[in-house]
Amino acid sequence: MTSAGSGLSVWQTCALSLLVFTGASQFALVGALAAGGSPLTAAAGAFFLGVRNAFYGLRLSQSLSLPRAVRPFAAQWVIDETAAVSLAQPGRRAARLGFAVTGLTLYVLWNLTTLLGALGAEAIGDTDAWGLDAAGPAVFLALLAPMLRTTAERAVAGLAVLLGLGLLPVLPAGVPVLMAALAAPAVLYVEGRRRSHAEGLRGSCRDGRSDGTRQSDRTRPDDQSRSGGPAGQNDRAGRAGRVDTEEERR
């Protein structure tokens, strides 16, 4: 329905789901088109959202160890769900089975529901009149919210929202989404500087404690000499013996 609201036909919507099997990228693409963005800008935003699947592929290539002839076809099913199921299996055979079953099930159901949704949107007509134009952003937020677990991830999301909304009035449609991607390196840079500063402070504290320990070790024998400790008694006994020897010589 979201793609129908952005002007895509039924066959274009189905082709999108068949070829771009990742929900976040699809919603970003049709959302940018619905906002009036150019196809190139919309495709660029969808591409950046789908980059994470490449990192899944690096990890799955080790756990699955598929033949080279099969890998291009298996890459189509590398998504969050297949990666999670495969990596949770104890062995390679179970990982391959989990990947195949999860990928096939989701791929068939995803494209089937895409077809039903596109036909339903075509039957409804004007999806904006029903408020279905908000379905895309709502689903995208529902997909994104569970992934924001750490403070850094929430900071990236918040800064991206500020960049997107702030640049929306001054840049062409679709470009603010690309500019919002700059939030990730900015937050990571600040987080790295903060951790480096904290590690430097901890290192300084450890060095200070080590210097204090060495200083106390050097001064402890002198303190014992001045006090009535064993070291001090030995020093006094030694000095008394030297005095007696000198008197005998005289």
Domain ranges across the chain? 2-147
Q: Are 135 and 2 in contact (CB under 8 A)?
A: yes
Residue found by looking up tokens 């210097």 in the block: 211
Tens digit of pLDDT for each residue in 5-42? 667 788 888 888 898 888 878 877 887 777 677 788 77
Task: State the pLDDT confidence band at 96, using cuts at 50, 70 and 90.
Answer: very high
Residue found by looking up tokens 């529902």 in the block: 142
Total count of residues recorded for the chain = 250
Distance CA 249, CA 24 (A): 102
11 residue type, one letter: W
pLDDT of residue 135: 66
**What does the block give as tokens for 193?**
């500087």
pTM listed for this prediction: 0.57
Q: Which of 34, 36, 18, 27 shows the shortest CA–CA distance to 127?
A: 34
Residue found by looking up tokens 């297949």 in the block: 82
Distance CA 56, CA 106 (A): 17
Q: Which of 135, 188, 167 shows the shortest CA–CA distance to 4?
A: 135
Mean pLDDT computed over every residue of the chain = 78
**What does the block give as tokens for 156?**
């990236």
Q: Are 74 and 99 in contact (CB under 8 A)?
A: yes
